[in-house]
Amino acid sequence: MATVYLPVEATIPGMTSAERAEAIDREVWRLRRPLSVQSPNDVTQFYYPRITHPTTGQVAIVGQTDEEVKIHPDVDLTDLLALLPEVPQAEKDGLVMFIDANRGGTVPFGQLIPSTSTQLTQVEAEAEGWFTDPIEP
Amino acid sequence: MRITRSSSHHHKTTSKLADISKLNAVPLANIEKLDAVLAANIAKVNGLVFTTAGIPAPAAAYSVRLLDSALGVPTYTGAAMRVRRDTAGGAGDDDEADIAFDSGVISLDSAISNASAGVTATTLGQFLNVGTVAGTTYTNPDSLTVTASCLTDTWYDQSGNANDATQATQGKQPQIHDGTVNTDLITENGKPALQPFGNGDQFENASTGVTAQYAFGVVKTTNSLDSILLTGNSSTSIYVLAGVNGASFAPSDSSRVNNYYKNGSSYSPASADAVNDDTLNQTLYAIDMVGNAISDTIIGYPWSGSRCMYITQEIVIWNSDQSSNRTGIETNINGFFGIY
């Protein structure tokens, strides 16, 4: 699988990078398990791990571009789209059509990443200091 | 308080209370209090020594078995863990349920409760549609089209302190069943185990967290993943018992651990690689961190996606020195798991 690091900008007023990343991650999970089928006691709420930059505090979602994300037939994209204000409307419309066409199926995560997102490979993320591992001597 | 013994010996004796399995027909394990005094706080009864006295209730206790007063755990009646089934997009995908202990340990016969809407299964074996295991055929009341793999998103704290260990991210949850039909739970040395299947798998404690002064763990390294027993949530540099194949760095934050004990004996690992090599089989560790406690304890290591928890069967954490009780605690743990 190709790992991709998606640093999340704090571009929504009132939301930090960490809060926005958590909200987006929650909506990615809801592609697979929408609120309409979740139970109040569900513990699982997020799809992908998130990491915090050790110096800037920015948060990145750690996705897999070729992972097939299950799309539940009852998926609702309203909240996810609201978290992507920088994405052009035409691209949002295209995403809605793409998801609608794949309800009950799967889509590669890489095809869900907006064109406006910064995408870092493992090497690029390391170069930008995301992996200063405090355990290593 | 008056205790009547059925034998003819009504006078005080020097017999220890350990020889008494019941009081007024109630098993000792089920006696939480005597005259409003917590059992864990009772050192003697009419001069007779209470064997578990001195072992206070742990700050957090996670296990695939039901723990009891032998480890200072008050009577626990809750579920063992909460799990999610993965049917790869088929019927019943991502439904969750609590699973109970079955005769003191989790099994495919464990009753389930508090399940997602639409779940009609009553046992874990049915919930996963495992087929036939050890002569028992589990029906498929939820009409799954496959055998589900089973991930753990909550490991309930049996200590009574509600420090449940949780993992809300689907990609970081350890497995207890790999989804193979006609197959039992994942086990180590015959007992169920939680197995990480990718780096990043770990539990983060909920609630106010746990301060760890003394910890016991029954674990095994995968040898391929980078394992960490415990991490403090206040600093990325606080880690305890790393088992990493080929790594030369210290097995723990250098100022954190006073003493290690491995399978009941003193242990001085030189590196994380040494710990990895020494944990290729099921192993009981006791970790003395007295005076250097880690707070908001996490099972595993959340600061990097390349670390995870061990294959784990039990972790019990005290926020006080248990040096004087260590041998007794190890004996109890080894008595169940049969490690050494």
Give the count of beta carbons closer than 10 Å to the beta carbon of residue B308.
Answer: 25
Copy the structure tokens of residue B21. Answer: 């399995």
Hey, are the CB atoms on B304 and A106 less than 8 Å from each other?
A: no
CA distance B156 to B163: 7
Q: Looking at residue B18, what is its pLDDT?
A: 44
Hey, are the CB atoms on A43 and B304 less than 8 Å from each other?
A: no
DSSP code for B276: H
CA distance B150 to B129: 11
Hey, are the CB atoms on A39 and B116 less than 8 Å from each other?
A: yes
Hey, are the CB atoms on B96 and A33 less than 8 Å from each other?
A: no
Q: CB-CB: which of A33, A41, A106 is closest to B114?
A: A41
Taking the Cβ of residue B301 and every Cβ of chain A, the question of whether any pair is shorter than 8 Å is answered with: yes
Q: Looking at residue B143, what is its pLDDT?
A: 97
**Residue at A7 is within a domain:** yes
DSSP code for A83: T
Residue pair B208/B183 in contact by the 8 Å Cβ criterion: no
CA distance B269 to B251: 7
- Give me the phi and psi of B29, to 5 degrees please: -60, -25
Percent of chain B surpassing pLDDT 90: 68
Copy the structure tokens of residue B12. Answer: 């005080």
Residues of B in contact with A130 (CB under 8 A): none
CA distance A132 to A122: 13
Its domain, for residue A38, covers 3-127
ipTM of the complex: 0.93
Hey, are the CB atoms on B236 and A54 less than 8 Å from each other?
A: yes
**Residue at A32 is within a domain:** yes
**Residue at A12 is within a domain:** yes
**Is the Cα torsion angle B307, B308, B311, B315 positive or negative in sign?**
positive
Mean pLDDT (chain B) is: 86
Reported as type and span, the H/E element at residue A32 is helix A17-32
**Residue at A91 is within a domain:** yes
**Residue at A34 is within a domain:** yes
What lies within 8 Å, CB to CB, of A58 at 6+ separation is A7, A8, A9, A10, A17, A52
Q: CB-CB: which of B93, B116, B305 is closest to A51?
A: B305
B236, B245, B271: which to substitute to probe chain A, counting the most A Cβ within 10 Å?
B236
Residues of B in contact with A25 (CB under 8 A): 169
Residue pair B212/B59 in contact by the 8 Å Cβ criterion: yes
Q: Minimal CA–CA distance to B101: which of B65, B73, B130?
A: B65
Taking the Cβ of residue B153 and every Cβ of chain A, the question of whether any pair is shorter than 8 Å is answered with: yes
- When mean pLDDT is compared across B32-41, B113-122, B224-233, B252-261, the lowest value belongs to B32-41
**Residue at A137 is within a domain:** no
> In total, how many domains does chain A have?
1
Hey, are the CB atoms on B169 and A39 less than 8 Å from each other?
A: no
DSSP code for B310: P
Residue pair B127/B119 in contact by the 8 Å Cβ criterion: yes
Higher pLDDT, B224 or A133: B224
Q: What angle do CA B100, B337, B135 make, to 5 degrees?
A: 60
Residue pair B169/A47 in contact by the 8 Å Cβ criterion: yes
Residue of B nearest to A48 (CA): B171
Residue B67 half-sphere exposure, CB side, CA atoms within 13 Å?
Answer: 26
Residue B123 half-sphere exposure, CB side, CA atoms within 13 Å?
Answer: 16
Q: Minimal CA–CA distance to B189: which of B43, B338, B42?
A: B338
Q: Looking at residue B166, what is its pLDDT?
A: 93
Tokens 């169920």 label which residue? B192
Residue pair A51/B305 in contact by the 8 Å Cβ criterion: yes
CA distance B151 to B187: 14
**Residue at A113 is within a domain:** yes
pLDDT in tens, B103-112: 999 999 999 9
Higher pLDDT, B173 or B7: B173
Which pLDDT band holds residue B1 (cuts at 50, 70, 90)? very low
CA-to-CA separations, A133 to A129, B62, B239, in angstroms, rounded: 10, 28, 12
- Phi-psi sector, A9: left (phi>0), alpha (psi -120 to 50), beta: beta
pLDDT in tens, A30-86: 999 999 999 999 999 999 989 889 889 999 999 999 999 999 999 999 999 999 999
Q: Cα distance from B76 to chain A (closest Cα, Å)?
A: 21
Q: Looking at residue B13, what is its pLDDT?
A: 40
- Give me the phi and psi of B65, to 5 degrees please: -115, 160
Residue pair A113/A4 in contact by the 8 Å Cβ criterion: yes
Residue pair A82/A26 in contact by the 8 Å Cβ criterion: no
